[in-house]
Structure 1
Amino acid sequence: MLSRRRLLMFAAMSCGTFVVPAAAHQTRNSTFKVDPKFEPQSVPYFAHPPGTIVVDTGAHFLYLVESFGKARRYGIGVGKAGLSLKGEAIVERKAKWPSWRPTSNMIRRNPRKYAKYANGVPGGSGNPLGSRALYLYRNGRDTMYRIHGTTEPSSIGRSVSNGCVRMINAHVEDLFERVPLGTRVIIL
């Protein structure tokens, strides 16, 4: 006889929904526990072809379409209203422990916060791009938008960045290994 727990687990597995248990994520000063819905998990997904990344900025999810009817879903933080990229792009560059430099627009909007970084910040644990970055291009030109890690995991599930797509470092590392150069990205 099946217990209720086993029956529910079997039902979730047969639907293709696998939830990775919530984990604590290290920040510079403390440990942050992300909402379980933002942990990587396999979900039903039918909107785009396999191999596509779909960024749903309104829902704060990124989907990597794995096969017809199935995607790996990650929680994300996105840009404030008016600062997000929309439409399509291509992953044309990937970097481990990338360096970072604020854009001219970031410095213009908030010089007190960003001007001191105008010459850039080398890659490392204190870098705002975190441990990995996927660089988004259109027509061979850098959009200046990235899918990257973050030193602020509490921003996941929120619209607070300067436009890039933020992920927990461990999650972007997982995505980085799954995504080849040339991957199509759709930002809703």
Structure 2
Amino acid sequence: MTRSRLLLTLALSLVSSTALADDRYKVVRPVIIESGIAGQWMMQLGGPVRGQVVRRVQQGQPIRMTQPRRLKQHMAVEPQTQIQQAAYHPDRPAVNAIEPQFLPQMVAYETRHKPGTIIIDTNNRFLYLVMGDGQARRYGVGVGKPGFEWAGEHRITRKAEWPTWHPPKEMIEREAVKGHYLPASMEGGEANPLGARAMYLGSTLYRIHGTNAPWTIGYAVSSGCIRMRNEDVVDLYERVKVGTRVIVM
């Protein structure tokens, strides 16, 4: 092979390799994160995300998120002070994606407790609002994960719409060990873990509240709070008042 032909062959090979490399990096691969940590992952972004797409598939499958078009550059983020609420918009799961027993429904429920009492069965993940005449309105709930279970009786001492979240110091420290850096506080909104409504129980840190992760209803997932789908907690919120008796079993 002559020197000129050899140089030509090498040049063509280089152009072809460059083209293949360019094609390879033209495609933006989706970032896949598990649904259980999606909210926490989004909360750790240093600024607002634009152009993200979040799609909820079936329960148990990961969420696919396309990479954001642009993030603010050179942003100095100080833990606990400048963490901003990201635009986290998970699609609401279809009704048939939730096990039917966890949807709101009227059920037969014999109890000695007065109408208006809330009874929470943590073993079976149900919240009952006693209606009287042997009937109760039943909702599916998420309850405390292993090590965070509790039982007792309190009354609703406060109600709040789209409540601000103030993670307890213990939770901030506990999650930091896992690499989850929680904000000192978060204003109410769709990304807020407390969801659309909150009902505070006695002088404790426990609440009955909504959630930004409705697919967790029916599971032991919380740090002791009772979580409900946003549409369900709004319904319950309108039916009860401050002073309502709440029994957790």
C-alpha distance after superposition, 1:84-115 (max 9, x if no partner): 331101101000000001112212322132x4
Normalising to structure 2: TM-score of the pair? 0.60
Q: Distance in 2 between matches of 1:98 and 1:177?
A: 15
Alignment of 1:1-12 (within 5 A): none
Worse-matched range after superposition: 121-130 or 76-85:
76-85
For this pair of structures, how many residues does the alignment match?
156
Aligned-pair CA distance for 1:166: 0.6
Alignment of 1:92-171 (within 5 A): 92-111=157-176, 112-113=179-180, 115-117=181-183, 119-137=184-202, 142-171=203-232
Please give the secondary structure, in 2, of the residue aligned with 1:71.
Answer: strand
Say yes or no: does 1:178 pair with 2:243: no
Say yes or no: does 1:44 pair with 2:104: no
Asked if the contact 1:84–1:164 (Cα under 8 Å) also holds between the matched residues in 2, the reply is no
Structure 2: runs of 5+ lacking an equivalent: 1-87
Amino acid in the other structure paired with 1:95: A
Q: Distance in 2 between matches of 1:30 and 1:174?
A: 20
Determine the structure 2 residue equivalent to 1:35: 99
Q: Distance in 2 between matches of 1:51 and 1:175?
A: 11
Coordinate RMSD, CA, aligned: 1.4
Q: Distance in 1 between matches of 2:150 and 2:116?
A: 20
Normalising to structure 1: TM-score of the pair? 0.79
Q: Which has the larger radius of gyration?
A: 2
Deviating runs (4+, > 4 A) in structure 1? Answer: none
Determine the structure 2 residue equivalent to 1:71: 136
Aligned-pair CA distance for 1:164: 0.5
C-alpha distance after superposition, 1:16-72 (max 9, x if no partner): xxxxxxxxxxx9233413211111000111122211100100000000001131100
Amino acid in the other structure paired with 2:231: A
C-alpha distance after superposition, 1:112-131 (max 9, x if no partner): 32x431x2000111110000
Higher strand share: 1
Q: Distance in 2 between matches of 1:123 and 1:37?
A: 29
Amino acid in the other structure paired with 2:238: E
Q: Give identity over the alignment, percent.
A: 51
